[in-house]
Amino acid sequence: MSKAISAISAAGIGLRNQHIDEILINKPDIPWLEILVDNHLAQGGLIPAQLDAISELYPLALHGVSLSLGSTSPLDMHYLQQIKNLAIRTNTVWYSEHLCFTSVNGHYSHDLLPIPYSQASLNHIVDRISQVQDFFGEQILIENVSSYMNFVDSTIPEVDFLCAVAEQADCWLLVDVNNIYVNQINHDLDAEHFIDSLPLNRIKEIHLAGFQEREDFLLDAHNHPVSKPVWQLYERLLQRKSEIPTLIEWDNDIPVLSVLLQEADKANQIRHNVEARE
């Protein structure tokens, strides 16, 4: 997992099965792709020949949703070994996971469930991330998640917790700007303060996605274009540091490939505008 990131500062897209044939036939100019490892490891994912062909054409990042770093159950070393094998096979640039838990005692929620932001959970997740990094022999990326509830046990603001995780585990951050905005609306947080507090030397990747408006909250549904306030927060982050690889995530009601590429172009345009003003 060691390709230079300078080559992928432009915005990439999440690779979805609906687009694979078109990408392999037309070979569109996409700087990099992100694979959902859980889709690939499950039946019905990319067939190995497709994966090999894609990895020869594009730099690939691996993104996981099932490691359950925040759980108190032991880490699934078989799952991690599968990811390691996939990373080697695809010459992956990096592997990212979430600041959350998804399973307990073998029961899987299939949702990214938030953890309490307390000293005890900080110690726990730092230890778990360290275990994973020791296993891979390199740093991984940790992503902030959307949430729809707060824990009474939370004593640390989310952004401070995220910064402490990065520092103490010596890991990278994957900053999901949409998740920051969703949490601002759902929990009345200050998204601009969140963006301004992030440690720039730790950020390795940015996610952009679309939410769904519900009656009294925002759902991190990944089924819409990136919203205007999220683009504004993205620009604010790039004004602090513009050279951060960005990825467009779209997981539900997936449109034609050109729509994702237009979203990536929009991200690139914002970056160019920011750099032109510097």
The CB-of-106 to Fe ion minimum distance in angstroms stands at 26
Residue 50 or 220 having the CB closest to Fe ion: 220
Q: Which of 80, 13, 7, 62 is nearest to 258 (CA)?
A: 13
Q: Which stretch binds Fe ion (CB under 5 A): 48-56, 81-89, 125-133, 172-180?
A: 172-180
The CB-of-210 to Fe ion minimum distance in angstroms stands at 11
What residues numbered 179-208 form the site for Fe ion, per CB under 5 A?
207
DSSP string, 206-256: EEE---EE-SSSEE--S-SPPPHHHHHHHHHHHHH-----EEE---SS---
Q: Are 140 and 132 in contact (CB under 8 A)?
A: yes
Residue 126 or 209 having the CB closest to Fe ion: 209
The two most distant CA atoms of the chain are separated, in Å, by 52
What residues numbered 120-139 form the site for Fe ion, per CB under 5 A?
none
Q: Which of 205, 204, 206, 208 is nearest to 222 (CA)?
A: 208
Q: Which stretch binds Fe ion (CB under 5 A): 43-51, 117-125, 158-166, 168-176?
A: 168-176
Query: Which residue lies nearest Fe ion, judged by its C-beta?
Result: 207
Residue 145 or 257 having the CB closest to Fe ion: 145
Binding Fe ion (rule: CB under 5 A), the pick from 38, 97, 176, 205 is 176
What residues numbered 199-258 form the site for Fe ion, per CB under 5 A?
207
Residue 132 tokens read as 């994973």
Q: Is there binding between residue 63 and Fe ion (CB under 5 A)?
A: no
Q: Is the torsion defined by CA of 118, 202, 36, 249 positive or negative?
A: positive
Residue 59 or 210 having the CB closest to Fe ion: 210
Rounded CA gap, 157 and 194, in Å?
Answer: 10
Rounded to 5°, the CA angle 117-208-278 comes to 100
Contact residues: Fe ion, CB under 5 A: 176, 207
